[in-house]
Amino acid sequence: MAANEDLERIREAITGRPGPAPFAGGAQTLMGTGKPGKPAGKGKKKGSPASLPPGPPAAPPPAPPREENGGGSGILGGIAFLVAAAFVISGWIGSGGLPDFGSVTPPWSSGSSAGSGAYPETTPEDDTYSSPAELRVSPQSGSAYTTVTVTGSGFIRDGLVKLAFHATAMGEAHTDGNGDFTARMSLPSPDFYGRFPGQTFSISTTEYTRDGTYQGNGPGAGFHVD
């Protein structure tokens, strides 16, 4: 109390007017009402937290995705196509079978080779050959000292045919205007090949022009050594 009184005296000396009476505790009278106020710190319930301010408003839900232009029309078009196809197929079945779409016949499907799995016969682009070449040997077996008759057809026209027995040169023959020839020849190296009785050796051909230009390998035949 002494400290409050000293403060009031100092304020009165400075302002020239007395201040309010010092507060001594207890209830205070509210100005203009005449009602006593509540002491500070009283009237407040213990343990009740202050209310929180309201939260922000909830965000609106996202808008549903928009369909691309033409999406619905594409689905409807697909359904319409399937329905139309079903009607067409049912009409085919009801009429007794599918319509004839036509067929493509390969050029080699007719003739003697049709259905046999063989390739079609080809015709040479020029007149060098007349027909597929063929080689025949008579006799087809005998001793290594046998003289055979070799007959060829369909070889190069007006050309040269060289023959070999196994890996040994056997002889040569000239073809005529039709690509044919006939020649008698002895088997080469009879002393050597006579050591292999029971073996079959090949007789091969190679074709040339008359001036010696190589044209390719021709057909062959076999000879059995007794």
- Per residue in 132-145, pLDDT (tens digit) is 899 999 999 999 99
* CA–CA dist 184, 152 (Å, integer): 12
Domain range for 171: 134-225
Residue 81 lies in a domain: no
Residue 204 lies in a domain: yes
Residue 37 lies in a domain: no
What is the residue whose two structure tokens read 């001036």? 211
CA separation, residue 117 to residues 35, 114, 121, 122 (Å): 126, 7, 12, 15
Residue 199 lies in a domain: yes
Copy the structure tokens of residue 192.
């050597």
Q: How confident is the model at residue 117 (pLDDT cuts 50, 70, 90)?
A: very low
Q: How many domains does the chain have?
A: 1
Task: Output the domain CATH number for residue 174.
Answer: 2.60.40.10
CA separation, residue 216 to residues 23, 121, 123, 128, 219 (Å): 139, 19, 17, 13, 10
Residue 204, pLDDT above cutoff 90 = yes
Cβ atoms of residues 185 and 161 within 8 Å: no
DSSP annotation of 66: P
* CA–CA dist 9, 22 (Å, integer): 11
Q: How confident is the model at residue 8 (pLDDT cuts 50, 70, 90)?
A: confident
* pTM (two decimals): 0.45
| CA neighbor of 135 nearest in space, from 10, 39, 19, 222 | 222
Residue 155 lies in a domain: yes
Residue 157, pLDDT above cutoff 90 = yes
Residue 159 lies in a domain: yes
Greatest alpha-carbon pair distance for the chain in Å reads: 168
| CA neighbor of 210 nearest in space, from 185, 181, 173 | 173
Residue 26, pLDDT above cutoff 90 = no
Residue 217 lies in a domain: yes
Residue 46 lies in a domain: no
Mean pLDDT of 198-219: 96
Copy the structure tokens of residue 60.
């609106």
Copy the structure tokens of residue 150.
């070799």
Q: What is the pLDDT of residues 44-99, one digit of tens each?
A: 555 555 565 566 666 677 766 665 555 556 677 778 778 777 766 766 666 555 55
- Residues above pLDDT 90, as percent of the chain: 41
- Whole-number pLDDT of residue 18: 63
